[in-house]
Structure 1
């Protein structure tokens, strides 16, 4: 039997701690007359037990790299939610992602795949139930028993999606025979107000209920200088009801219901940065033409068309605080070329906007990461419910059957300004236009220079917003038979079943989309109400005449979702998974133990693809008209289901030894091998396009599952009568098909890369006296992508090859392409004669809108534009990767969000003031440099950052009365902790994420 003293090493740290600081100076030494009995009493009260192996064990006895945080630990360190756990665990990184979830990364392995069909790599569990979708990193901890973080693959007991590790939050359950509770109130900076509390009520001798709750309200951390409002505030609350029934010593049942709700203007992402790409003034030996061409003023049309919007400059340079080249955006170019609103009496053209201009030319971007200039404030709503029923039957002495049943429901809705750059006015005053006779003409579009979009409202500027919403449900059942015999062998065997259903929708709105659909494609007039558009059907053959693109008239708050005047990615996925597992524990001797585990998993994923339909419609019989390239006038018809399945064997083998050493009280040395698995999935579908109009570059429709073979050695040590703890871990991973996403063709394209990872972790705590504690952790991580791996960098598609030039496509083609420089030169040289036709020809080099038939059915549809310019070219066959660009060699690059170093050091001292105890504490965290993409360029680099938090706690132990004050982010730092590259057709701007600002708070807690 392992000595209980091993648990003393956890003490109040109870966490992975690093950097052992041995400070036994006289200033902190106890007086000689303090008895050893008092020391024993005060040290022995801090034993931490965990369920890392789904059985209660002292943390230092578990041959796994695991961190455990009690409610007191979380409170002392100011860890209010899952996003702050990185400050107390080595080799952990955290950031929100661009949509509705997050990336919690352990040892370089996180969730960089953001498809609706992808799964998290770190399993998030509530009371040992895995939750594929959850709000555990948005809601705040309350009435927590402890939080456990397991590092490394946990494929045997925790199963699928635990390749990186596990985060398990265990709530407090009711206690029979005990009445009590607690209430806590807090006020602080940004007008923050918090309430937390619980009450435990026994009912008879065998039944008890517990009700707990928490709420947070505060003003926004960020300032929108355009609307003059603070945004990114919080208004959220949680409640938990639990009941426990223990009618006999051999049976117990517990029921838990937890509800979370939020309704505020939380920002999903931070500020948007861009190093402006003005576009080239010369291609090869040819000067890019501008101004008066082909009888019309083209402005900088061609220079803009050869600009990608933003350059891949460092996010930490002043140049990155600019706006994209708005004239390069395909929707701006399409609107200005197609959506002319006539002329004024003096002959001034009423284009939307003027051809060759940049709508962002007047944008002002603050250097403050907490200040944005956006026309639309964010809004955020989330609601989550978890129901769990746990049963335990002790079949006989030492053998228990466990049943865990859980149902979870998660709903999410969030909108915010998509560009976060304020455009100049782009809509002309159509009340000024005249007819051919010079008389006032009808003004149907933007009288007074104001255009009203059904989703975005009225404005003279270009407005853009996105909407991310999801509706998910999960059912989970596990049965487990577990032994606790006195002999040398024990086991845990079981089976579980998971069913998860999800619908994720992502929308992008732009009032130029709507105006183009309304006044150009919908030639029969009316904002979405012309009768052909109301016919929701899919044409049986390529359309041939009058176009119709349906405009959804409903507001964004109650969106019908069937319009084609916005981008919609609709993703419906169903996952069904079952597994059987077993793990055995052999005591080979009093000091030596062997653990062997194996798990078989069967995964099935069914994806229902709904192609996107931005500015796509269908034509009925009738006169000639411009074809958008679509088949569907209104709504989103599903393609056939895509069914994928995988079978995986995972497991682990561990040998651990507890030698009797003279310089420690308890030592555990272990070596382990474990194998992890995470399922693959489908990439979201692209638009449904008539190939006679748009020729798409080829992309993979699915991505592969991940597998990892992990080898780990470690030692856990306690010494100095339980006053010190020193844990060391080394690990090496062979990773196969790590999943990473980037935005391509307006979808999240998931790619797979093999990688190798190794690292070291040091965790330490020392308490020279019962009142003084120093703790910390240090992590080193070395990640390398395998040789031969490659990917196309959307920020650098030519890879520096001067024989190829980046070109902007037509509006229905989402991604930029590369074209031969000599062909681009040829088109530019003939632009003075051909004028606007040269712009179509440049677009045709991308394979989109490359045939005259796309614009005029009287032309031969086999005759492409560029034949006017004297060359023959098929981009899908003659260009690298179908025109997408050159692959960048990733061999030896670091994985994203895998900082080489992490460091945390904390210290606290308790002063005894009569019946009061005063405990000040400080925690310092430092994270080294890393990258947010696999390309490891200057643009991808994230600089090192640090964070200091301090707190003071005044407690009266006899009645549990506590007063606490804290300051987080003492130096008010605003580092860029992660970033996300947006799509080609929005200029390749970058969403960045930062820390919360300096905040303070004072709370009072009373127990009863």
Structure 2
């Protein structure tokens, strides 16, 4: 089923005429800033420069723009950035998707191809991305491979959150309270300023609680968990201290802590299908569930979960940045420590019976150190550096129910257990526990130059050599009502001992040594003072890893690294004094693109698997921002994409020529903001939103994972005085029902998690 046959010709035609990129917030010297579209400086090249001068496809949202959009969670930033989506079913794991590039697996040991940085420190775990977003200076989103300067696992791009620092010489801050639909309540604030002549500080916090929007079915079978799902209960704090240690040495220290407490999880619904006599869904030759439309519960915002799901999570981060200025050089040191503790459980089947229960516990400790030296001459800007990271993870994952049925028969036939968990024995009680310790060590060196070939032509060349060493100790246990003693059935070779000599599977590949290079080569041409263009080649890399599911076979235990060669052409221009247009067209050529499927290798079990396949993609992004009048701002974005994954191993037959997940052939975003005076104060009306064309939510392209085209619109009215801001906002104002996540489980069916319906929020903010 192809969803993009028309748009690929449109994308190609537009890409040949105008190419490009960004959110374009930067004005020329003559341009007057109005509204929220003020000048933005970005650090996409690890130097502070105008977003209009960077030869990279980068979008940026300032803190004021984030406030205007009503965004308070790190995962909510995608709607006003072309070709950018988020795939999430709970706060535990955030999956960003840029130009269709993502990693949809939900196992803790995996890393995403969209690198995430917070205040210049890399975040290795997808578990640590979502959370309270407050007192932010800006968010930068870089499309395409960014491995030359930002390192490992930036194959598809990068997202960078930059916190607001302390003001130089005065005290400032704010306090904001809000209430909204589903009993949502929040309180946030910040205060900071000069402490001494050479020391500045700032402290910020946010606390939020909310009931869920996915309600329990009240007239259904007994045993349904009465808690609503999709709410929040958490807080975050951040402290920043800046000190001028000398005239040429600046120290910046940032400490962060966040906690989520017993956040309800689960909330899936099954897509309808014509069940057979065994109450299984029919499947096609590739094992994908065949659905008939609609959901089993009748309402996508009603759940029938019988297991009380929860997320408990604590995240701590400390970053020290030292900047030393020399006559014509700058030395920067960034040291970061990150720790994460998580406990998670969910009802994974959407029925009032223990068909699938899934859980994960994890402790992660990460240390990283970056050193870089930069300088410039009249015609050359350069930087060189080194990076070291050490990660240790202790984790376990459990699966109870149907995914273990085929496994139990295999173990029985191998003589490891006395009796299998049979399909007719309902509920399915087989349980698999996977315990592992993972260590990752990365060392890399990098350098990049920008050489002025002529007054209007600059060559950029960059190279990074990266070496990963990963080791894993993994053992899996099986138990059931018939097999009450938990016994090991699979392990890496290092875990074999006298107590488990007869394992069903032994995996020798418990170490991955991987080294490769990322590279960048581009030409940046300044056509006029208002217009620049660039052509670029980038080579991005992402290391291999392990599939740690209950039924993984030795030939699928390890998946290969992926390599992406990206080719881009872009233009950034000011059409008029107050109107700017940026655009990029791209072509991707993947070797060993990493694919994720949950379609079972057997008849019933659904076990996540990672594979590799070559793939290609192309598309374009356009962004237009205009201050039409002193009272009216308009932002428009448009994106086109086309992709093809050659072969995905799924059921009996592979899936051929599939599309990337979360990659609609056409998508767009819009924002209209109107200002009018009311006495000495101001009223602001804003209408914004995004349109997404037909798309698949999983790379298998199963019919149960289709999300048809939809539009999400938001509306707000804001009253502003010198110190006070009062805002009434409605998100998803037309109450559109759409999927936030979908998973094809083969004969077990396709499950989906639906995004929130219309919500309303009232906030009051005092600034000083």
The TM-score bracket by the shorter chain reads 0.7 to 0.9
On the 8 A contact 2:57/2:584 being kept in 1, the answer is yes
Q: Structure 1 97/381 Cα, relative in aligned 2: closer, same or farther at 3 Å? A: same
Q: What is the CA–CA distance in structure 2 between the aligned matches of 1:147 and 1:99, rounded to whole Å? A: 19
Q: Which residue of 2 aligns with 1:495?
A: 386
Structural mapping, 1:213-362, within 5 Å = 213-225=205-217, 226-268=224-266, 270-279=268-277, 312=288, 317-318=293-294, 321-322=295-296
Q: What is the CA–CA distance in structure 2 between the aligned matches of 1:43 and 1:923, rounded to whole Å? A: 15
Q: Structure 1 98/707 Cα, relative in aligned 2: closer, same or farther at 3 Å? A: farther
Structure 1 length normalisation: TM-score? 0.66
Q: What is the CA–CA distance in structure 1 between the aligned matches of 2:138 and 2:432, rounded to whole Å? A: 43
Q: Which residue of 1 aligns with 2:425?
A: none
Deviations 1:8-52 (A, max 9, x none): xxxxxxx9459xxxxxxxxxxxxxxxxxx9984758982110000
**Cα drift, residue 202 of structure 1:** 2.1
Structural mapping, 1:691-730, within 5 Å = 699-721=555-577, 723-730=578-585
**Pair 1:572 & 2:572 matched:** no
Deviations 1:317-340 (A, max 9, x none): 14xx34xxxxxxxxxxxxxxxxxx
On the 8 A contact 1:208/1:243 being kept in 2, the answer is yes
**Cα drift, residue 950 of structure 1:** 0.9
On the 8 A contact 1:113/1:739 being kept in 2, the answer is no
SS of 2:182's partner is: coil
Structural mapping, 1:905-944, within 5 Å = 905-944=670-709
- Partner of residue 145 from structure 2, selected from 146, 153, 156: 153
Q: Which residue of 2 aligns with 1:814?
A: none
Q: Structure 1 38/191 Cα, relative in aligned 2: closer, same or farther at 3 Å? A: farther
Q: What is the CA–CA distance in structure 2 between the aligned matches of 1:697 and 1:51, rounded to whole Å? A: 44
**Cα drift, residue 572 of structure 1:** 2.4
On the 8 A contact 1:241/1:258 being kept in 2, the answer is yes
**Pair 1:380 & 2:311 matched:** yes
Q: Which residue of 1 aligns with 2:329?
A: 399
- Partner of residue 513 from structure 2, selected from 645, 652, 657: 645
**Pair 1:112 & 2:4 matched:** no
Q: Which residue of 1 aligns with 2:14?
A: none
Q: What is the CA–CA distance in structure 2 between the aligned matches of 1:192 and 1:141, rounded to whole Å? A: 16
**Cα drift, residue 229 of structure 1:** 3.9
Deviations 1:74-129 (A, max 9, x none): 11122222322221111112111689423211011111344444321000100121
**Cα drift, residue 902 of structure 1:** 1.1
Q: Structure 1 307/404 Cα, relative in aligned 2: closer, same or farther at 3 Å? A: same
**Cα drift, residue 565 of structure 1:** 6.4
Unaligned runs of 5+ in 1: 1-14, 19-36, 280-302, 323-365, 424-461, 518-541, 550-563, 621-629, 688-695, 794-884
Q: Structure 1 578/599 Cα, relative in aligned 2: closer, same or farther at 3 Å? A: same
Deviations 1:499-555 (A, max 9, x none): 1112332213459999xx9xxxxxxxxxxxxxxxxxxxxxxxx989x9699xxxxxx
**Pair 1:774 & 2:634 matched:** yes
- Partner of residue 204 from structure 1, selected from 193, 196, 202: 196
On the 8 A contact 1:470/1:503 being kept in 2, the answer is yes
On the 8 A contact 1:214/1:238 being kept in 2, the answer is yes
Structural mapping, 1:500-519, within 5 Å = 500-509=391-400
Q: Which residue of 2 aligns with 1:596?
A: 461
**Pair 1:792 & 2:633 matched:** no
- Partner of residue 78 from structure 1, selected from 70, 89, 92: 70
Q: Which residue of 1 aligns with 2:491?
A: none
Q: Structure 1 137/967 Cα, relative in aligned 2: closer, same or farther at 3 Å? A: farther
Q: What is the CA–CA distance in structure 1 between the aligned matches of 2:305 and 2:292, rounded to whole Å? A: 21
On the 8 A contact 2:252/2:320 being kept in 1, the answer is yes
Deviations 1:823-852 (A, max 9, x none): xxxxxxxxxxxxxxxxxxxxxxxxxxxxxx
**Cα drift, residue 164 of structure 1:** 0.7
On the 8 A contact 2:569/2:585 being kept in 1, the answer is yes
Deviations 1:710-736 (A, max 9, x none): 000000001322x10111111001011
Q: Which residue of 2 aligns with 1:678?
A: 542
Q: Structure 1 765/42 Cα, relative in aligned 2: closer, same or farther at 3 Å? A: closer
Q: What is the CA–CA distance in structure 2 between the aligned matches of 1:742 and 1:614, rounded to whole Å? A: 25
**Pair 1:475 & 2:451 matched:** no
Q: Structure 1 746/494 Cα, relative in aligned 2: closer, same or farther at 3 Å? A: same
Q: Which residue of 1 aligns with 2:522?
A: 654
Structural mapping, 1:838-987, within 5 Å = 885=652, 887-890=653-656, 892-957=657-722, 960-982=723-745, 987=747
Q: Structure 1 603/573 Cα, relative in aligned 2: closer, same or farther at 3 Å? A: same
On the 8 A contact 1:927/1:944 being kept in 2, the answer is yes
SS of 2:654's partner is: strand
Q: What is the CA–CA distance in structure 1 between the aligned matches of 2:128 and 2:664, rounded to whole Å? A: 24
On the 8 A contact 1:763/1:776 being kept in 2, the answer is yes
**Pair 1:370 & 2:346 matched:** no
**Cα drift, residue 307 of structure 1:** 7.5
**Pair 1:182 & 2:73 matched:** no
**Cα drift, residue 608 of structure 1:** 1.2
More strand by share: 2
- Partner of residue 748 from structure 1, selected from 608, 612, 635: 608
**Cα drift, residue 901 of structure 1:** 1.2
**Cα drift, residue 936 of structure 1:** 3.0
**Pair 1:737 & 2:595 matched:** no
**Cα drift, residue 701 of structure 1:** 2.2
On the 8 A contact 1:978/1:992 being kept in 2, the answer is yes
SS of 2:658's partner is: coil
Q: What is the CA–CA distance in structure 1 between the aligned matches of 2:404 and 2:545, rounded to whole Å? A: 31
Deviations 1:147-185 (A, max 9, x none): 000011101001111011000000012234221221111
On the 8 A contact 1:98/1:269 being kept in 2, the answer is no
Unaligned runs of 5+ in 2: 1-20, 218-223, 409-413, 421-428, 488-497
Q: Structure 1 38/56 Cα, relative in aligned 2: closer, same or farther at 3 Å? A: closer
Q: Which residue of 1 aligns with 2:81?
A: 89
**Pair 1:581 & 2:446 matched:** yes
SS of 1:248's partner is: coil
Q: What is the CA–CA distance in structure 1 between the aligned matches of 2:446 and 2:522, rounded to whole Å? A: 16
Q: Which residue of 2 aligns with 1:34?
A: none
More helix by share: 1
**Pair 1:758 & 2:623 matched:** no
Q: Structure 1 315/198 Cα, relative in aligned 2: closer, same or farther at 3 Å? A: farther
Q: Structure 1 412/634 Cα, relative in aligned 2: closer, same or farther at 3 Å? A: farther
SS of 2:46's partner is: coil
Structural mapping, 1:102-141, within 5 Å = 102-133=94-125, 137-141=129-133
Q: Structure 1 991/252 Cα, relative in aligned 2: closer, same or farther at 3 Å? A: same
Q: What is the CA–CA distance in structure 2 between the aligned matches of 1:116 and 1:187, rounded to whole Å? A: 34
Q: What is the CA–CA distance in structure 1 between the aligned matches of 2:734 and 2:185, rounded to whole Å? A: 23
**Cα drift, residue 574 of structure 1:** 1.1
SS of 2:536's partner is: strand
Number of residue pairs the alignment of both structures matches? 705
Q: Which residue of 2 aligns with 1:609?
A: 474
Q: Structure 1 639/678 Cα, relative in aligned 2: closer, same or farther at 3 Å? A: closer
Structure 2 length normalisation: TM-score? 0.85
**Cα drift, residue 276 of structure 1:** 4.1
Task: Give the root-mean-square deviation of aligned CA atoms.
Answer: 3.3
Structural mapping, 1:39-78, within 5 Å = 40=32, 42=34, 46-78=38-70
Q: Which residue of 2 aligns with 1:390?
A: 321
Q: Which residue of 2 aligns with 1:452?
A: none
Q: What is the CA–CA distance in structure 2 between the aligned matches of 1:619 and 1:109, rounded to whole Å? A: 39
SS of 1:755's partner is: strand
Q: What is the CA–CA distance in structure 2 between the aligned matches of 1:39 and 1:404, rounded to whole Å? A: 35
